Amino acid sequence: MIFAALCLFAPSLPTIIPAPLSYNAEEGSVRLDAKTIIVAVGDAKPVAERLREELRPATGWALPIHAKTGKHAISLIFDTTNASYGPEGYRLETTDDGVNIIANTQAGLFYGVQTLRQMLPVQAFDHTVQHDVEWNVPRVKMFDKPRFPWRGMHLDVSRHFEPMPFIERFIDWLAVHKMNVFHWHLVDDGGWRIEIKKYPKLTDVGAWRVEQPVKWDYSNLHFPGKNSGKKMYGGFYTQDEIRKIVKYAQDRYITIVPEIEMPGHSTELVASYPELGCSPSAEVKAKYIAGTGNDQPSMVCAGKPAVREFYKNVLTEVMGLFPSKFIHIGGDECPKDLWAQCPDCQARKAAKGLKTEDELQSDFIRDMDSFLVSKGRRLIGWDEILEGGLADNAAVMSWRGISGGIAAAQAGKDVVMSPTSHCYFDFSYASTSTEHVYSYEPIPTELSEAQGRHVLGAQANIWTEWIATPQEVERMMFPRAAALAEAVWTEPTKKDWSDFSRRLVTHYQRLDRLGINYYVEAPVAKSDLVLVGSHEQVAFENPPVSGATIRYTMDGSAPTASSSAYTSPIPVTKPAVIKAAIFRPGGAMSEVTTISAVSIQPDTTPKKPGVSWRVIEGNFKKCPEPSAFATAAAKIVDGIGVSDHAGKDHFAVMVEGFIRIPTDGEFTFYLGSDDGSKMWIDGNLVIDNDGPHGYAEKRLKMRLPAGDYPFRVVMYEGDGAESLKLWVEGAAMPKSQVPPSMLWSK
């Protein structure tokens, strides 16, 4: 009884994400109910309406908004005499009469409202009326404001199109996390997604590509027009829809920064208006597109005046739709080799005394910069815009690491940080974990305090080459977006990963109610390879948090929400493939963990050093069968990799031999590759890391008796970067690539 009473009066720890600047918990709580009123006058009224609408679905209340102070009220109060709030800060205080939220801007009041929502029971995030909930707000005095003015999330809707209702949900989630910039990547090679009245072919042609057999195949982009009769993939937003989304975001104090990517990444644009492409000789053109599968070179021309005219007309319509001060013009990854062979580009270079193609790009970007400035806007672009000299008024988005951001800030230019090291949410959780995102510090130590003030903030990017559906976007976004929200809102002295992890447990319940398909860490098996008859059992290391369940199958099929629930270690009496996943109460499911139960014996015949390495050429989309290598010549190598195929595309490699387990004990192997790879031990598929992807590792933790075991690795490379690595880690062995002493053949 005493214990219960103590608990009742212990100040409750806040579970607010992002963590507020200062929080003083007091005893007791304030009850809200259907008789609560909202008090707001003047400019506070729109925020009061948002508060009413955000409380309505879960509570069923339609709280009245009163102009006069009253009892039992949530009061939204402007205090314009106090500059300490800044443009987005607020104070939240409970009183005997209710809750006061005080700020000197609407945005500040709105963030107070978001905090209030998170102080209510998690059911506040439900979209249907929740009965039997006591809507208590713990008593508190809180002062809060963000560290950075740019707290952003990017979404690429070109490679894969996202429908309007999803964009609204996406904006809702940003608002919950007090993020305030939505960087909307509207155009790219994969499709043009914004209606431009002056150029209808951008969406009649450029918004529709022939559906590809894989999610994304850059070398097979075809835009024959929406009604070509072929199976098409695409979509776009009409200007009316864009206006609706802009308003929707404004109502949530979110600025949409539209990106009109130029001059690279423009396959869809040149397909729509070929006359805007470079005009090299027929011979150069043929050479340029040979082997790409594309109909024409995808480079817009940096020399033709018509191209600049085109972009200014597009930007004029874009500015008419988006009130954002910043307009993003892309500028990244522009291959300039065709410019070097285009008479129009070369004529421009000569006329302007430009020495390099990088300078030609800068000349192009400067043109856009002065155009945007003449309309009262500012240009922002990816860090490549630094290369030929930065336009006067431009701001830089640093993505290839942080050096572009450092250089720009040192030159006195504004910067938004979005480095691949922490902010690329298209990267797997294995490479960019939630904890790693959380640790992100946007101001590089290289900057002085004054230079550091040019860092406006940070954002994460969601590129959708391999992310085709809203559910997949959600999974890549959360919980990492919650971690980033805290990295850009909360002062470093208030950041604490273990406390964040604790709050995340509650926050998952909010995400469940918001219907977000967030990433759930997969079950981690104590051993991924179990020897039948060894008394080893299938067991898991990570009991799932709050209400989640591990479910599994033993027939190789994918587990579902109705598969057997794991309650204790599973004995195995015969070879089997066990697949397990964690299921959250809201429906979110983890990746599948596969455990192999096998019967294998070490091979005792004599061995020679090295393993066999074979390669075959071909544009593979997944690992070919081992039999495909039957006629390829083998060489003996002493390590596992792509060997002499580094830097090449379109091939597959097979490495075979014996792996020598040096001592009895536990070893973990990690098979890493770009693109896919697989590993077999004694004919059993034990690591499946197949499919098109950037560098990603999958692990195999096992305990085998010392000895030689036959193994095989297959990997394939589509386009872009390539790698193949097999790592090993043991009790007396730090993680390192498998050494020659473990690689043998007969």
Enzyme catalytic residues? 188, 265, 333
As a dihedral over the C-alpha atoms of residue 113, residue 118, residue 122, residue 124, rounded to 10 degrees, the angle is: 0
The answer to whether residues 611 and 640 touch, using CB atoms and an 8 Å cutoff, is: yes
Using CB under 5 A, which of the segments 39-47, 174-182, 345-353, 378-386 binds Zn ion? 345-353
363 binds Zn ion (CB under 5 A): no
Closest distance to ligand ACM from the beta carbon of 332 (Å) = 4
Cα(460)–Cα(101) distance, integer angstroms: 30
Query: With CB cut-offs between 5 and 8 Å by kind, which of ligand ACM, Zn ion, none does residue 168 bind?
Result: none
Cα(663)–Cα(102) distance, integer angstroms: 66
Size of the residue set binding Zn ion (CB under 5 A): 6
Closest distance to ligand ACM from the beta carbon of 483 (Å) = 20
Among residues 195 and 268, whose Cβ is nearest to ligand ACM?
A: 268
Q: What are phi and psi of 214, to 5 degrees?
A: -110, 170
Binding region for ligand ACM (CB under 6 A): 332-333, 382, 399
The gap from C-alpha 85 to its chain's centroid, in whole angstroms, comes to 31
Query: With CB cut-offs between 5 and 8 Å by kind, which of ligand ACM, Zn ion, none does residue 649 bind?
Result: none
DSSP code at position 253 = T
Query: With CB cut-offs between 5 and 8 Å by kind, which of ligand ACM, Zn ion, none does residue 399 bind?
Result: ligand ACM
By 3-state DSSP, what share of the chain in percent is helix, strand and coil, each rounded to 5? 30, 30, 45
301 binds Zn ion (CB under 5 A): yes
Among residues 278 and 659, whose Cβ is nearest to Zn ion?
A: 278
Query: With CB cut-offs between 5 and 8 Å by kind, which of ligand ACM, Zn ion, none does residue 657 bind?
Result: none
Looking at the DSSP assignment, which residues form a beta bridge with residue 22?
143
- Exactly one of 342, 406, 483, 484 binds Zn ion (CB under 5 A); which one? 342
- Exactly one of 14, 303, 657, 676 binds Zn ion (CB under 5 A); which one? 303
Among residues 330 and 559, whose Cβ is nearest to ligand ACM?
A: 330
Among residues 381 and 559, whose Cβ is nearest to ligand ACM?
A: 381
**Burial label, 83 (beta-carbon count in 10 A; 0-12, 13-18, 19+):** exposed
Using CB under 5 A, which of the segments 28-36, 52-60, 187-195, 335-343 binds Zn ion? 335-343
Q: Which amino acid is at 253?
A: Y
Distances (CA, A) of 258 to 193, 245, 365: 11, 12, 16
Smallest CA-to-CA distance from 186 within 176, 171, 196 is with 196
- Exactly one of 88, 156, 188, 344 binds Zn ion (CB under 5 A); which one? 344
Closest distance to Zn ion from the beta carbon of 302 (Å) = 6
270 binds Zn ion (CB under 5 A): no
What are the CB-based long-range contacts (under 8 Å, 24+) for 284-288? 284/338, 284/341, 288/337, 288/338
Query: With CB cut-offs between 5 and 8 Å by kind, which of Zn ion, ligand ACM, none does residue 333 bind?
Result: ligand ACM
Among residues 355 and 746, whose Cβ is nearest to Zn ion?
A: 355
Query: With CB cut-offs between 5 and 8 Å by kind, which of ligand ACM, Zn ion, none does residue 236 bind?
Result: none
Query: With CB cut-offs between 5 and 8 Å by kind, which of Zn ion, ligand ACM, none does residue 345 bind?
Result: Zn ion
Contacts of 447 (CB under 8 A, 6+ apart): 406, 409, 410, 454, 455
- Residue-wise burial string across 403-414, b where 16 or more C-beta atoms lie within 10 A, e elsewhere: ebbbbbbeeebb
The answer to whether residues 339 and 345 touch, using CB atoms and an 8 Å cutoff, is: yes
Cα(208)–Cα(193) distance, integer angstroms: 9
Among residues 280 and 405, whose Cβ is nearest to Zn ion?
A: 280
Among residues 399 and 552, whose Cβ is nearest to ligand ACM?
A: 399
Task: Determine how many CB atoms are found less than 10 A away from the CB of residue 575.
Answer: 14
Using CB under 5 A, which of the segments 174-182, 344-352, 435-443, 531-539 binds Zn ion? 344-352
Binding site for Zn ion (CB under 5 A): 278, 301, 303, 342, 344-345
